[in-house]
Amino acid sequence: MAVAAKNIPAPDLVPVRRALLSVFDKTGLIDFARALAAAGVELVSTGGTAKAIAEAGMAVRDVSDLTGFPEIMDGRVKTLHPSVHGALLGVRDDPEHAAAMRDHGIEPIDLVVSNLYPFEDVRRSGAAYASIVENIDIGGPAMIRASAKNHAYVAIVTDPEDYASVLNALEMNFGSLSLDFRKKLAAKAFARTASYDAAISGWFAEALEIEHPTWRAFGGRLDQVMRYGENPHQSAGFYVDGDKRPGVATARQLQGKQLSYNNINDTDAAFELVGEFDPNRSATVAIIKHANPCGVAEGASLKAAYAKAFACDPVSAFGGIVAMNRTLDAEAAEEIVKTFTEVIIAPGASEEAIGIVAAKKNLRLLVTGGLPDPRAAGSTVKSVSGGLLVQGRDNAVVDDLDLKVVTRRAPTPAEMADLKFAFRIAKHVKSNAIIYVRDGATVGIGAGQMSRVDSSRIAARKALDAAEAAGLAEPLTKNSVVASDAFFPFADGLLSAIEAGATAVIQPGGSMRDDDVIAAADAHGIAMVFTGVRHFRH
């Protein structure tokens, strides 16, 4: 049965006479405390916060003076006391609550300033188990939640970025804060503790290797409000969860206008793809459009790799995202800016390259400081009506797989290199995916079709169009290899690839008709390799 409310109306304006400050992040603390003191607010504080305020020359009352009890257990217990929580939770216009506060000498607290132990940062630092546990804040969330619940009388500030707005509101209301303002602070406070608890519960599940805990929570902090989502009638915001994996969320934007919802989605897809390619082995460039690659290639230089990637589908490359696995240099930058491009993302960029890109003021340039690890564990989340689909990141890498030649003819070393290249890309192409590769470059990509044979035909058609645009006598799918993200259910998809000119195939295998597909390959002298791993991507 729910707890009944007494229906006591909340006052609009509540004067702020006493504030409790207890923060880990002391950014802006002294200036804020000084402004509160200047406004006649009594400052109550704890531990290091109280020390910092006192050292700045302000009068501050230790919380132990309120509680009559010292901090104990290395500071684990300091604000967990009725004199604190009664001061925060008391409904001041309720006669019973008011009497209890008087009887027990509980002095009301009107404003709480609290932020939390850096659990998320400590977790990501690789600290030992005991250190991570010690950075689980208890008193902070308890005070925050108590204050937020009783926002009818108490204002709760959890973010240093809100200090200025609090001071402005106090000035506008002659030392009081409005109910509407207190509600907004309370909403933000509950969201903060929810995100904090999500990080803690997620860490426990990871530490205990619980793949699917009974309750699952995800949290994040708003990074930017966007002009719109996928379409202009949809609102959108970008939230970051603190994961330090190199990519669009952690990148530094050196120039260009604000990233859009689609930009972020596509840039993430682009950089995750190039993360599959070791920069010490070769330069690799991927051009992405609507989260699918329209060209990927490796070469002796970024410029060479870009030219080969662009040649795969020069029409689709217009307005695309360009990602690379090495530092952007001037030579590559000069080539890329010749075509309208939305975003360039790279581990780094030379000063000369930055200057070249700067000539295109709307072109976004992002640097990440590193590449994502394709083998790293992690989770992906997709919303559906009424729930969430959560799965482990697809961290299978073709170099780690037990490849099995299933045809009479084995691939040549050159074909095998291209087959592995193609299968790396198949992992990042929407299903059904067909990828033709020749000499370390895609020459035809078919993505997102309901039929695998249609993907094969579309990829071949794009190769024909690219050949015509380049003035070639025949498409580059002639003497290419082909990768399929899942098995061929029938031989027709394979036969379509053979018709396009493929000489070797890589696919997961596992169809009831594998024997028919292998027989078709043998009949045409095609080499075929099974990976045993599927790369569906929806």
Q: Which CATH superfamily includes the segment(s) 402-530?
A: AICAR transformylase, duplication domain (3.40.140.20)
Q: pLDDT class for 1, splitting at 50, 70, 90? A: low
- Six-digit token string for 99: 């009497």
How far apart CA 109 and CA 479 sit, in angstroms, is: 78
149 in catalytic set: yes
Residues listed for the chain: 538
* Predicted local distance difference test score (pLDDT) of residue 429: 94
How far apart CA 439 and CA 479 sit, in angstroms, is: 10
Q: Of the listed 26, 81, 184, 290, which one is catalytic?
A: 290
Cβ(254)–Cβ(265) under 8 Å? Answer: no
Instruction: Assess whether pLDDT exceeds 80 at residue 5.
Output: no
Strands (E), 108-211: 111-114, 155-157, 176-178
How far apart CA 429 and CA 535 sit, in angstroms, is: 9
How far apart CA 98 and CA 109 sit, in angstroms, is: 13
* Predicted local distance difference test score (pLDDT) of residue 451: 86
- State the span(s) of the chain assigned CATH 3.40.140.20: 253-367, 402-530
Digit-coded pLDDT (tens) for 400-409: 999 999 999 9
Cβ(367)–Cβ(293) under 8 Å? Answer: no
* Predicted local distance difference test score (pLDDT) of residue 9: 82
Digit-coded pLDDT (tens) for 75-94: 776 777 888 888 898 998 88
Q: Of the listed 149, 184, 478, 524, which one is catalytic?
A: 149
* Predicted local distance difference test score (pLDDT) of residue 184: 97
Digit-coded pLDDT (tens) for 227-242: 999 999 999 999 998 8
How far apart CA 104 and CA 499 sit, in angstroms, is: 88
* Predicted local distance difference test score (pLDDT) of residue 270: 97
* Predicted local distance difference test score (pLDDT) of residue 146: 95
Mean pLDDT within 184-210: 93
Closest to 197 measured CA to CA, from 125, 120, 143, 130:
120
Cβ(397)–Cβ(377) under 8 Å? Answer: no
* Predicted local distance difference test score (pLDDT) of residue 8: 85
| Cβ neighbours, 10 Å, residue 231 | 9
Q: pLDDT class for 4, splitting at 50, 70, 90? A: low
Strands (E), 325-401: 341-346, 364-367, 379-384, 387-392
Mean pLDDT within 178-207: 94
Digit-coded pLDDT (tens) for 428-479: 999 899 999 999 999 999 998 888 888 988 988 888 888 888 888 888 899 9
225-234 contacts, C-beta under 8 A, 24 or more apart:
226/258, 226/260, 226/261, 227/258, 227/260, 228/260, 228/261, 229/261, 230/261, 230/262, 234/261
Q: In angstroms, how far is the first alpha carbon of the chain from the final one?
A: 43
Digit-coded pLDDT (tens) for 142-170: 999 999 999 999 999 999 999 999 999 99
Instruction: Assess whether pLDDT exceeds 90 at residue 47.
Output: no
Mean pLDDT within 321-329: 98
- Per the model's pLDDT, the better-predicted residue between 275 and 69 turns out to be 275
* Predicted local distance difference test score (pLDDT) of residue 36: 97
- Nearest 5°: the CA angle 411, 416, 422 is 125
CATH no. of 13-208: 3.40.50.1380
Closest to 63 measured CA to CA, from 23, 15, 25, 119:
23
Instruction: Assess whether pLDDT exceeds 70 at residue 61.
Output: yes
- Six-digit token string for 534: 């599927």
Digit-coded pLDDT (tens) for 373-432: 999 998 899 999 999 898 989 999 999 999 999 999 999 999 999 999 999 999 999 989
The SS3 of residue 305 is helix
290 in catalytic set: yes
Residue 19's DSSP bridge partners are: 43, 111
Mean pLDDT within 334-360: 96
Q: DSSP code of 385?
A: T
Q: pLDDT class for 310, splitting at 50, 70, 90? A: very high
Q: DSSP code of 399?
A: G
Q: pLDDT class for 253, splitting at 50, 70, 90? A: very high
* Predicted local distance difference test score (pLDDT) of residue 470: 82
CATH no. of 253-367: 3.40.140.20
Average pLDDT across the chain, whole number: 92
